[in-house]
Structure 1
Amino acid sequence: MSESFLLVCDDLPHTVVLTDAGPRAIEIVKLLHRRTGQSLWRCKSLISHLPATILENVPEEVATAMVAELREAGADAHAEANQ
């Protein structure tokens, strides 16, 4: 007899997408640099080609915190669960 199991994961990895840098783009570039560790040039390039994926495959808490920080700085961003 063969048994099969369905594994259900409650903590799906998330992606953070920046859709609008808002009126304070320099602040957003600096924030992205601090939080992602990417160069300032790369962060400036990201906000020049929106929408842009900022973080990938991170826990929901990290994604939610990043979105909140970006919104607080005047940007528009959202987190989506990876399927």
Structure 2
Amino acid sequence: MADEYFLLVCDDVPHDVVLTAPGARVLDVAQVVRQMTGLSLWRSKVLATQVPALILDGVPQEDATAAVLALRDVGAQAEIREQPEPDDLKH
């Protein structure tokens, strides 16, 4: 009997939200970052000005999409990045 190997596929691959540009309304972007992360307003402003910045790490697709839309609504540029699969699962 031949050995069979199965790759388990997760239904929801973790995603990262990356802020690529804060736009003209940095304070508005910092407030959105604060709401998403729970950081202080000062730390959120620092994070919003040091781009590219990882805002959320390992969140589901729906949460990542909502976060990117919220950032874009205040004039920022943000993107969703799919987390790479671990090396031990690659073929």
The runs of 4+ residues in structure 1 deviating greater than 6 Å are none
So what's the TM-score if we normalise by structure 1? 0.92
Establish whether residue 71 from structure 1 lines up as the match of residue 50 from structure 2: no
Q: Secondary structure in 2 aligned to 1:80?
A: strand
Distance 1:46 1:36 in 2: 11
Distance 1:6 1:14 in 2: 20
Matches within 5 A, 1:1-83: 2-83=3-84
Question: How much does 1:35 deviate?
Answer: 1.7
Distance 2:53 2:70 in 1: 16
Structure 2: gaps of 5 or more residues: 85-91
CA contact (8 A) 2:14 2:82 kept: yes
The total of aligned residue pairs comes to: 83
Q: Secondary structure in 2 aligned to 1:6?
A: coil
CA shift digits 1:48-73 (9 cap, x unpaired): 21100000000000000000110011
So what's the TM-score if we normalise by structure 2? 0.84
Deviates more, 1:38-47 or 1:53-62: 38-47
Deviates more, 1:5-14 or 1:58-67: 5-14
Greater C-alpha Rg: 2
Distance 1:53 1:46 in 2: 8
Q: Secondary structure in 1 aligned to 2:46?
A: helix
Q: Secondary structure in 2 aligned to 1:79?
A: strand
